Each structure stands twice: as C-alpha cells, then as structure tokens.
Amino acid sequence: MVHQQSSRPRLSPSGDTEDIVALLAPRLAHFAGVARTEHVTRAAQEMNVPQSTLSRALVRLEEDLGVDLFVRRGRTLALTVAGRTFLGSVERALAEVERAADEVRADADPATGKVAFGFLHTMGAETVPGLLHAFRADHPRVRFSLVQNYGEAMLERLRAGELDLCLTSPVPDAPDLVARRLDEQKLRLVVPADHSLAGRRRIRLAEAADEIFVTLEPGYGLRRITDALCKEAGFRPRVAFEGEEAETLRGLVAAGLGVALLPPPAVPRPGVVELTVTAPRAAREIGVAWLAGRTDTPPVAAFKRFLLSRRGSLLPS
C-alpha cells in the first residue's frame, strides 16, 4: 500500500510487548477484512465502518509495524510477502479471541452457564453434593467447576478471580471480600475406641490437656479454631501429627496416635468415639464469601441466592 512517510515514531523491535499489543489489537480485524476482500471499499461495507477510518487504520498499522502489508493494483489491494506472513498469525489470533468470547458468553448464559465454586474438604462428602442436587432441581443445565481446599487458599483464589463463590470457615472479615454466615457446625473430641475416655459421652476440653493431638496443618481454619479452643480451655495442645484432611486425622485417631477436634463425619468411622465438648463451646461458623464489587453472571447470581436461602439449614441434620 503506497503512502507518505509519517513523522510518527515506529514501534521499536525492543518495545514493551504489552504496549505493542494495545496499539495493534484494534486494527487487526480491519487488516484481516481488507486482506480477505482485497478491496478497501468492499471491506468497509462488509464491516460497516467508514472507508476513511479503514484506510487510516491500515496506514497506521503499516507505520507501526514498519513494513508494507499491501501493494495497490488499480482499485484493489494485494498482500505483500510480509502481509501474507502477518495475515496467518492475525487470523489465528482473531479465531482464538472469537473462541474465548464464545466461551465466556456460554459461561454467563443463565440456563447453561458455569459457576466456579470452592468449598472445604470436610464439606465434600455430603454437604456440597446435597446442595448441588437441590440447586439443579430448578437449574438443571448450570455447570460447576468445583475446587476443594482449605479456607485461606480458597480466599486467595477468589481474589485471583479463579472462584466465584466459596464455602469456608472461619467466616472471613476482609475489606475486599463479602461474606455471609450460613450455619454453624459443632466440633467433637474424637478419641480411639480403646481410649480411657471412650466410655464418656461428654467432656470438658480441659480434661484432654494431657493428650497428644493430631491436627490439620497451620493455616487451616480448623487448626486455628483448635488452637483457640485449647487456649480457652487453659492449655496448648501437644501436636504429634499434622495433616491436610479431616478423615485422615480420624484414621490417625483410630490407629491410637492421638485425639482430634473435628466436625461430624459424613459416615460413622469404626475405631473412634466422638465426644460432645461441653466447655468451651466448640463450634465453627460456615459462611459463603465472594469478591467485593464483582458483577455476577446470571448463573453465579442464582447460585448465590440459593446458598443465602439456606441460612440455618446449610448442613445435613
């Protein structure tokens, strides 16, 4: 394409990649349209843009790249060698953008969209499957991307935009998050079936001050709650084993390796006895959290309303 040399600076080959992309991206579709028709007027009509706008976009694109992409042949244009090389990459890039746009539109569809939902490991066996079953009774085609993790890890994924909603404990209090308390789950002192305390039904936590504990690793919400309850009961737990999952801790207790403060299991486990803690009050709050200021897609909004409607009845009875 023949044009006068512009005084505008060309992009340096060593220029910042983000600057290059921001400058070129709006002109790529214009370039591809003209390359397809080999005619500025025809391309302008097909793309519903003024011919002058299209012509200026092509001139600036060539100036920014520092190469000629077209040669003029009468009223038509033909791609140069550089133009053909550039076109292949542009078409792949535009196709990828179109695919991505289709994907995000599909994820936001009210009937068939997707919800990225995180929850604690302890809620995966019974609570979350029951919630999803109940929600899909009215939204049968909504899809879910499910993530199980400990609370702090899920909150970081919320902040990173990788999750829409998460069920967590303790209920977070942070300026960049919105959280709502949904339910409360009692914790029990789990002891081996042959333990001297196994014949009891209730216990004050202070009575376990001399026991060896198995707990979740530091950073887990349940570990923080365990440490806080033991401190309130007047002692610091002696921890022999730290794990990442509550049912693994139950297995350690069944093997006689310690005692643990845990939520009720989905299915009773042989080899352990679960004692009600009478003092201090042993419970954890379960809440739903999301990123403040984020606009929900229709499926996310629907699932959020559903979770909030389960306040006080989130957990299986």
pLDDT at 201: 96
The dihedrals phi and psi of 149, each to the nearest 5 degrees, come to -165, 175
Asked if the structure places residue 1 within a domain, the reply is no
Ordered DSSP codes for 259-285: BEEEPPPSS--TTEEEEEEEETT-EEE
pLDDT value of position 28: 86
Of 85, 106, 127, the residue that ends a domain is 106
pLDDT of residue 24: 63
Structure-token pair, residue 252: 């350690």
Containing structural domain, residue 170? 112-182+283-308
DSSP-based three-state secondary structure for 198: coil
Task: Say if 4 falls within a structural domain.
Answer: no
281 and 232 Cβ atoms separated by less than 8 Å: no
Local structure of residue 163 (DSSP, 8 states): -
Do 197 and 240 fall into the same domain?
yes
* Structure-block tokens of residue 140: 């049968």
Per the rule left: phi > 0, alpha: psi between -120 and 50, beta: everything else, 234 is left
Residue 6 lies in a domain: no
| Statement to judge: residues 128 and 254 lie in one domain | no
Total structural domains in the chain?
Answer: 3
Domain-embedded: residue 314: no
pLDDT in tens, 16-74: 544 555 556 678 888 988 998 888 888 888 888 898 888 888 888 888 889 999 998 87
Query: Can you give the pLDDT at residue 258?
Result: 98
Measured CA to CA, the distance from residue 304 to residue 317 in angstroms comes to 22
Q: What is the pLDDT of residues 37-48, one digit of tens each?
A: 888 888 888 888
Place of tokens 């983000």: 18
Q: Which of 79, 106, 133 is the last residue of a domain?
A: 106
Q: Is residue 316 part of a domain?
A: no
CA distance 69 to 214: 69
Distance between CA atoms of residues 168 and 225, nearest Å = 13
Q: Let me know whether 158 and 231 are in one domain.
A: no
Q: Do 30 and 95 sit in the same domain of this protein?
A: yes
Question: 101 with 116, same domain?
Answer: no
Distance (Å, whole) CA 220 – CA 155 = 12
**One domain, residues 23 and 75:** yes
Q: Quick one: pLDDT at residue 21?
A: 53
CATH number at residue 118: 3.40.190.10
289 and 242 belong to one structural domain: no
DSSP 3-state of 249: helix
Look at residue 222 and tell me if it is in a domain: yes
Q: How far apart are CA 307 and CA 287, in angstroms?
A: 9
Please give the distance of CA 236 from its chain centroid, rounded to a whole number.
35
Same domain, 165 and 197: no
- Residue 174 shares a structural domain with residue 298: yes
- Domain end marker among 88, 106, 124: 106
Together in a domain, 45 and 124: no
> pLDDT at position 23, please?
58
- What pLDDT, on a 0 to 100 scale, did the predictor assign at position 111? 96
Predicted pLDDT of residue 19: 54
Q: What integer pLDDT is reported at residue 85 of this predicted model?
A: 93
State the residue for tokens 């026991």. 211
> What are the mean pLDDT values of the chain's consecutive 10-residue runs (317 residues total)?
44 49 70 88 88 88 90 86 92 87 90 97 93 97 96 95 96 97 97 97 97 95 96 97 94 97 92 98 97 96 98 89
The full 3-state SS of 164-191, as one line of letters, equals: CEEEECCCCCCCCEEEEEEEEEECEEEE
